Copies of this chain bind each other. A is one copy, B any other.
Amino acid sequence: MRQTGSESGLEARRRIRAGHHPGHTAGLAPGHVQANLAILPRDLAADFQRFCHRNPKPCPLLAASEPGDPRLPALGEDLDIRTDLPRYRLWRDGELVEEMADIRALWRDDLVAFALGCSFSFEAALLADGIALRHIAEGRDVPMYRTSLMTTPAGPLHGPMVVSMRPLRPADAIRAVQITSRFPSVHGAPVHIGLPETIGIADLGRPDYGDPVEVRADELPVFWACGVTPQAVVAASRPAFCITHAPGHMLVTDLSNARLAIF
């Protein structure tokens, strides 16, 4: 991977658009907000906007496009939502049917794109504070789990909340609550600590998405609401048509992580 220490969001998007970065976006354009993506036809878009408003922890809405407009000017200059992510997923009737690197052939005048905050931003804040994150140290995807915590439905949209898990020593867990509370637009404070069975997680070693990560005897599993929740909602609600990012293949924006802090 080339050195990306000084890359801007725009430079990263142009490199992705040109097909020069087909992989995960972790570590791209350091310091810049990355986003989860959901694209829905206009008839479901109003439901989804309401769904995000009712479920701000898993679905913190950063920006929504005008119908048919592939730009998100609030998030970046010369941003084209159809080409600027390295990998997309196409869902039909709630089933994943295809992954692709470009969705121009699928674009329609009635589609609305939603960009949701992503844990990369708060992970950067945790790392900057000196809190080690094992999945990053080990080069794994964060483990994610469907829970028994239900989202608040909106129209036909419903489903379980998905959470990501990071093992932390208790003092670090307390510090992590403080740090991530400052970032409500990227999932904010954890939704759970320490007792996974009470939120419907039977086995931490078998995540529903991502990779397993060890929780040591002197650590607690700490759980944040996760931007993969819309994909679980799509699977549960079965909309006829939906496009999302592929896990880890995010929209890189021009926003600075630091500017998301509310105090």
Contact between chains at A190 and B174 (CB < 8 Å) = yes
**Does A189 sit at the interface, judged by CB under 8 A?**
yes
**Does A236 sit at the interface, judged by CB under 8 A?**
no
Contact between chains at A170 and B195 (CB < 8 Å) = yes
Which residues 133-191 of A sit at the B interface, judged by CB distance below 8 A? 170-171, 173-174, 177-178, 181, 189-191
Interface flags for A192-208 (1: CB within 8 Å of B; 0: not) read: 11110010000000000
Contact between chains at A195 and B177 (CB < 8 Å) = no
CA of A220 to CA of B191 in the docked complex: distance in angstroms? 14
**Does A98 sit at the interface, judged by CB under 8 A?**
no
Contact between chains at B174 and A194 (CB < 8 Å) = no
Contact between chains at A170 and B198 (CB < 8 Å) = yes
Number of interface residues of A (CB under 8 A): 18
Among candidates B177, B190, B191, B194, residue contacting A194 with C-beta atoms closer than 8 Å: B194
Contact between chains at B189 and A170 (CB < 8 Å) = no
**Does A218 sit at the interface, judged by CB under 8 A?**
yes
Contact between chains at A193 and B194 (CB < 8 Å) = yes
Contact between chains at B218 and A191 (CB < 8 Å) = no
Known: A178-B189, A194-B220. 15 other contacts (CB 8 A): A170-B192, A170-B193, A170-B195, A170-B198, A171-B191, A173-B193, A173-B194, A177-B178, A177-B181, A181-B181, A193-B194, A193-B220, A195-B220, A198-B218, A263-B263
7 A-B pairs closest in CB distance: A177-B177, A194-B194, A170-B193, A170-B192, A194-B220, A198-B218, A178-B181
